[in-house]
Structure 1
Amino acid sequence: MIPFNDPRLTAIGLLSEVHAGLTAKTTPALVAAGMSEIDFETLLRLARSPHRRLRMSDLAAQTNLSTSGVTRVVDRLERDDLVRRQACPTDRRASYAVLTDAGAARLEGVLPTHIADIEQWFTGLLTPQQLDQLLEALRIIRDVVRPSATAGAEHVERTEEEVATGAGG
């Protein structure tokens, strides 16, 4: 019989408690900026991507949403002019979500407060060595349990201008 104080149970319990606590501490700044957590995550993932864009399927994989779920998020962000859709020049079946300048500005507006919250409630509580070790451990686990979390990050599709001019590839 596995004891109730098994360290594996403690590890997953602590991870769950930390996630819930950090979410409670960081969400108010996002809400004040008119964003949900998934809006912020979507804009951030696009901002970090080459050409500030991702295929919709890769964005769904990175955000752990279904294709219909990511479509609803992108529809809402597109109505607010924070993202736009772009057809893929090399695959008619695919389209991209592209971060607009307004989306980048909205993200830049909330980042200082969000980063301050992260520093206060998370990273600032750790030494640089502890943070490095935590990041390394989290990446090991993430790469096994959610290997699609970085989908499309390494793949850079040429833009329409690059295809038209023969540049970029």
Structure 2
Amino acid sequence: METETATRWLTDAEQCAWRTYLDVTRLLTYQLERDLQPFGLTINDYEILVNLSESADLRMRMSDLASATLQSKSRLSHQITRMENAGLVRRENCESDRRGLFAVLTDHGMETMRKVAPHHVESVRQHFIDLLSPEALVDLRASLTPVAEHLRGRRGKV
């Protein structure tokens, strides 16, 4: 026989914090996405470009890139196809694993990163960083780190 557990409803303060967090994440993502539109990029495109630009040899295995960007392999494949058509990335076969593929940042992709990154950083500053005090940023990181660690530990677990 199952034991029914009582739902621990959110207090008013917890509900307010939760909804504020949801509002900020949605609104900030929306604004950052809008600020990338003049460059013909989505926030997902930019995240892929960042991951590739920071990786060894400007390449990542598709499976690792899917994991790093929290996308399904199928969704990432479609995303990479669009980015290939724009000349930002290319796919290369993996010599050590015939089924494996690399996503590789092209010269055009790196040039795009160099052009877009300063604008993106300014957008992040304007809509997030500069609105908080240095102390608030430290507190925010300290507050969110346990959540991030918990969720990272749950990745791949169902």
Q: TM-score, normalised by structure 2?
A: 0.82
Preserved contact between residue 92 and residue 102 of structure 2 (Cα < 8 Å): yes
Pick 1 or 2: higher relative contact order, CA cutoff 8 A, min separation 6: 1
Q: Distance in 2 between matches of 1:21 and 1:112?
A: 21
RMSD: 2.1
Q: 1:87 to 1:135 in 2, by over 3 A?
A: farther
Equivalent residue letter for 1:96: F
Give the match for residue 144 of structure 1: 150
SS for the counterpart of 2:97 is coil
Q: Which runs of 5+ in 2 are unaligned?
A: 1-7
Q: Which runs of 5+ in 1 are unaligned?
A: 150-169
**CA deviation map 1:68-93 (0-9, x unaligned):** 10000111111111011122222222
Equivalent residue letter for 2:131: L
SS for the counterpart of 1:65 is coil
**CA deviation map 1:9-60 (0-9, x unaligned):** 3332222111112123222221110011211111111112222211101111
Give the match for residue 158 of structure 1: none
Q: 1:121 to 1:2 in 2, by over 3 A?
A: same
Of 128, 148, 152 in structure 2, the residue corresponding to residue 122 of structure 1 is 128
Preserved contact between residue 62 and residue 148 of structure 1 (Cα < 8 Å): no
Q: How does 1:86-105 map to 2 (within 5 A)?
A: 86-105=92-111
Q: Distance in 1 between matches of 2:104 and 2:154?
A: 19
**CA deviation map 1:69-127 (0-9, x unaligned):** 00001111111110111222222221111111111111221112211111111011222
Give the match for residue 70 of structure 1: 76
Give the match for residue 4 of structure 2: none
4+ residue runs over 6 A deviation: none
Q: TM-score, normalised by structure 1?
A: 0.77
Q: For this pair of structures, how many residues does the alignment match?
A: 148
